[in-house]
Amino acid sequence: MERKIRVLHVAEAAGGVERYLETLFKYSKDKVENILVCSQNYDYEKFKRLADRVIVLKMAHDIQPSSDIKVERTLRRIIKQLKPDIVYAHSSKAGAFARIADLGLNNKVIYNPHGWAFNMQQSAKKKEMCKWVEKISAHFCDKIVCISDAEKESALREKICKSSKLQVIYNGIDLEEIEKTTPMSRDQLGIPKDAFVVGMVGRLSKQKAPDTFVKAAKLIKEKIPNAFFLMVGDGELRDQVESLSNQYDLGSSFLITGWVDNPTAYMKIMDVGMLLSRWEGFGLVLPEYMACGVPIVATNVDAIPNIIRDGVNGMLVDKDDYDDAANRIRKLYMDMNRRKEIIRSGRLDAQTRFNGFRVLSETEKMYCTFKKR
Q: Average pLDDT of 296-303?
A: 95
**CA dist., res. 234 & res. 245, Å (int):** 15
Q: Average pLDDT of 82-101?
A: 94
Q: Write out pLDDT tens, residues 213-243.
A: 999 999 999 999 999 999 999 989 999 999 9
**CA dist., res. 257 & res. 230, Å (int):** 8
Do 36 and 18 fall within a single domain? Answer: yes
Q: How high is the pLDDT of residue 63?
A: 77
Residue 128 lies in a domain: yes
Q: Write out pLDDT tens, residues 256-278.
A: 999 898 899 999 999 999 999 99
Q: Write out pLDDT tens, residues 35-91.
A: 999 999 898 999 999 999 999 999 988 778 888 899 999 999 999 999 999 999 999
Q: Is the dihedral of CA 53, 56, 61, 65 positive or negative?
A: negative
Q: Residue 121 belongs to what domain range?
A: 5-172+355-368
Residue 194 lies in a domain: yes
Is residue 373 over pLDDT 60? Answer: no
Residue 373 lies in a domain: no
CATH of the domain at 224: 3.40.50.2000
Q: How high is the pLDDT of residue 372?
A: 62
Average per-residue pLDDT for the chain: 93
108, β-bridge pairs: 86
pTM as predicted: 0.85
Do 233 and 264 fall within a single domain? Answer: yes
Do 69 and 138 fall within a single domain? Answer: yes
Domain count, the chain: 2
Q: Write out pLDDT tens, residues 147-160.
A: 999 999 999 999 99
34, β-bridge pairs: 7
Do 115 and 157 fall within a single domain? Answer: yes
Residue 162 lies in a domain: yes
Do 210 and 71 fall within a single domain? Answer: no
